[in-house]
Structure 1
Amino acid sequence: FNYYPSKAAAALGCEVGAIGSSLLFLADGEPLLVMTSGRHRVDVDLLTAAVGAETVSMAPAATVREVTGQAIGGVAPVGHPAPVRTVVDAALRDYDVVWTAGGTPHTVMPMTFDELVALTGGEVIAVAAD
């Protein structure tokens, strides 16, 4: 697998929206993991307002590795060296099974939306860029 949701979905035989992409942002300089549906991009302005931040930007690759202990393309929603504030895209609720990276670019793990929220302690927010 790789970090293209469409390719992961094709390999798994699922809809691209059922791929839970792990994207690390910096919200006012603090790590913020967004578990978003592979069917759309994150609306950064919407995300910024929803989390009450002044600024939100994508984290650089080195920061992703430092914060999560995992490489881009394989960032799991859990298993990081320290807890990371997490947002779970409300759009993932549409799928019986959500597939997320399992800690490497070559592993995935299935779970329900409710399991994803429970495991991450995530805030459920609609983050889709329409």
Structure 2
Amino acid sequence: MLIEDTLQNAGYDTILANSGQAALALAKATGRLSAVVTDIHLVHGGDGRSLVRELRKSNPMLPTVVVTGFDKSAPEADLRGLGGPTIRIVKPFACDDLIACLADVLSSTNGRAPRSVSTRRAALRDGMDNDR
């Protein structure tokens, strides 16, 4: 619910699902999603990778943020094969970082999102430095 509150406070319309099955049903009822934010391990069983694969059957370029507690090198955090745009954010994270990740996948024009929040921060820092 923290993610939902964070995104709503940033101006996004959200739909909260308590399981992968509920998310699929809500996505079908809603019609078309603009993006999805999912944990890699879902609370009521299942996993975020399966959810993303299923959602992308009808929308192959669905922007996706995958939340995980695993380091990117851990086998459990492997996102290969999901397509894009997809970005991983590792817990714990700042609310601003989540918003930045979502903005990145939503603005992707080539189907690839930046690899990490630190990459985005570096780009922002460099951009600010160039303005001086």
TM-score (norm 2): 0.31
> Could you state the TM-score of these two structures normalised by the residue count of structure 1?
0.31
Bigger relative contact order (CA 8 A; separation at least 6): 1
Looking at secondary structure, tell me which structure has more strand per residue: 1
Q: Quick check: which one's helix share is greater? A: 2
